[in-house]
Structure formats: structure tokens, C-alpha cells
């Protein structure tokens, strides 16, 4: 029993939460080892990708960038990261 008069079991509560499919931010590395199709599938499911760039961005994104644009996704290079979002998630750069 907590001081507030009720017991809260966070592990049980976490299991009961119904997360909508695709509502997450996925962290990864852009190093050429993950197939473009896998990245595209992730954003088509509504995920936002934040990828640390490990190598030459132009080479690593040569196939990925056109595929993202073809499915109306958004790309933004920010510092040492490539941010990729689905078409319905705007990348706001107004604070830069």
C-alpha cells in the first residue's frame, strides 16, 4: 500500500496499455547493412527512424532517399543523424 491509499503495480499496468501500431521512434545506425525495404516498411507502419550515420551519407542514402521520397516520406539530415518520418509526420525545423 502506498501513502496515497492505493497500490499501483506498474508492470501490470504496462501490460494493459494498448499502444497503437506504429506509434514509436526507432533508433538505429545507417551503415549500409539494413535493407532499404526494411527501412521503408518501418516508415509505412508509421514509425519515425532516427539513424546515426556511420560512413558517407551520400553513399549510404543513395538508394534509401529516393525510396523514402517515393512513398511520400520525409528525410532530414541533422548533425550526425538521418531522421526519416512517414508522410503524416512532419519534421519541424523551425527551431534550427
DSSP string, 53-74: E-S-HHHHTTTHHHHHHHTT-E
pLDDT at 21: 60
The fraction of the chain above a pLDDT of 90, given in percent, is 73
pLDDT at 9: 57
| Grid coordinates of 79 | 548533425
Tell me the whole-structure pTM to 2 decimals. Answer: 0.76
Q: Could you tell me if 53 and 80 are in contact, meaning their C-beta atoms sit under 8 angstroms apart?
A: yes
Per-residue confidence band for 96, with pLDDT thresholds at 50, 70 and 90: confident
The per-residue pLDDT for range 43-64, each reduced to its tens digit, is: 999 999 999 999 999 999 999 9
Higher per-residue pLDDT: 41 or 7? 41
Whether 2 has a pLDDT exceeding 50, the answer reads no
Amino acid at each position: 500500500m502506498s501513502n496515497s491509499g492505493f497500490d499501483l503495480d506498474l508492470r501490470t499496468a504496462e501490460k494493459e496499455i494498448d499502444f497503437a501500431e506504429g506509434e514509436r521512434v526507432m533508433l538505429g545506425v545507417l551503415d549500409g547493412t539494413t535493407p532499404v525495404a526494411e527501412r521503408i516498411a518501418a516508415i509505412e507502419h508509421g514509425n519515425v527512424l532516427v539513424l546515426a550515420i556511420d560512413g558517407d551519407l551520400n553513399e549510404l542514402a543513395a538508394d534509401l532517399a529516393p525510396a523514402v521520397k517515393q512513398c511520400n516520406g520525409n528525410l532530414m539530415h541533422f548533425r550526425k543523424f538521418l531522421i526519416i518520418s512517414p508522410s503524416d509526420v512532419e519534421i519541424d525545423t523551425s527551431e534550427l
